[in-house]
A and B are shown apart, each in its own frame.
Chain A
Amino acid sequence: AQSVTQLGSHVSVSEGALVLLRCNYSSSVPPYLFWYVQYPNQGLQLLLKYTSAATLVKGINDFEAEFKKSETSFHLTKPSAHMSDAAEYFCAVSDQAGTALIFGKGTTLSVSS
């Protein structure tokens, strides 16, 4: 069965520092992978998705993620953190039937000045 593990429930960085949010997946079929962001009191917004076209995926707000099959990872990065990046981030994988998404437990990103 598909599953997602996000390493680190909280990540803190300084403004301007590199952001790295970790996601490992388990999938018995080639996966479709997604990163979502949730700002306070809002729903989830898509950051980027991997659908096998390219291993390095660029998303909105300068975020990107690299799909590494050998490591079963799909880590999210941003070269320079901004205060407005403070939010909760979720990694998700399509379930085997391709119907629903299976979400990780989320990582809260804090950005300090």
Chain B
Amino acid sequence: DVKVTQSSRYLVKRTGEKVFLECVQDMDHENMFWYRQDPGLGLRLIYFSYDVKMKEKGDIPEGYSVSREKKERFSLILESASTNQTSMYLCASRVRDGSNQPQHFGDGTRLSIL
């Protein structure tokens, strides 16, 4: 089974801090994704990566950046955290040429910005 591991389940940070959310997958998947989940809004794509050092903006990239230095690891960075970035963050991975293949999700990181 695919395992997608997010480094923290719960995280509390302060406004203005630089925040790193880490995600690791163990199935050699090329594609990795970061979503944000808010009540009543579903999941919204922040960034995705289709290869090492490659990235593409999703629907809501403002205030975020990403890093993919190794194939198995995809990091989401909040450059200067703000209270409106309090949310649940979900990481996912998938094989490259697999639009008919499902994405596999981690358990999420619930981030609170005070």
Which B residues contact A (CB, under 8 angstroms)? 4, 9, 31, 33, 35, 40-45, 48, 50, 56, 58, 90, 92, 99-100, 102-108
Grouping DSSP codes into helix (H, G, I), strand (E, B) and loop, the B interface class, with mixed when no group exceeds half, is strand
Q: Which residues of A contact B107 (CB under 8 A)?
A: 41-43
Known contacts A94-B99, A99-B48; is-contact A104 B42 (Cβ 8 Å): yes
Contact A105 B42 (CB under 8 A): yes
- Asked whether B90 lies within 8 Å of A32 as measured between CB atoms, the reply is no
Give 8 CB contacts A-B under 8 Å.
Answer: A36-B105, A43-B106, A44-B105, A46-B104, A99-B56, A100-B58, A103-B43, A105-B41
A100 lies within 8 A of B45 (CB): yes
Tell me, in angstroms, the Cα distance from A32 to B40 when the chains sit together.
23
Nearest CB to that of B58 among chain A residues? A100
Chain B: minimal CB distance from A68 (Å): 19
Is A67 an interface residue, CB under 8 A from the partner?
no
Do A43 and B100 touch (CB < 8 A)?
Answer: no
Top 9 A-B pairs, shortest CB-CB distance: A98-B99, A43-B105, A51-B100, A105-B42, A103-B43, A44-B105, A103-B42, A46-B102, A43-B107
Contacts A32-B99, A43-B90, A44-B105 supplied; 13 other A-B pairs, CB < 8 Å: A32-B100, A41-B108, A42-B108, A44-B43, A45-B105, A90-B42, A98-B99, A99-B48, A99-B56, A100-B48, A100-B58, A104-B42, A106-B42
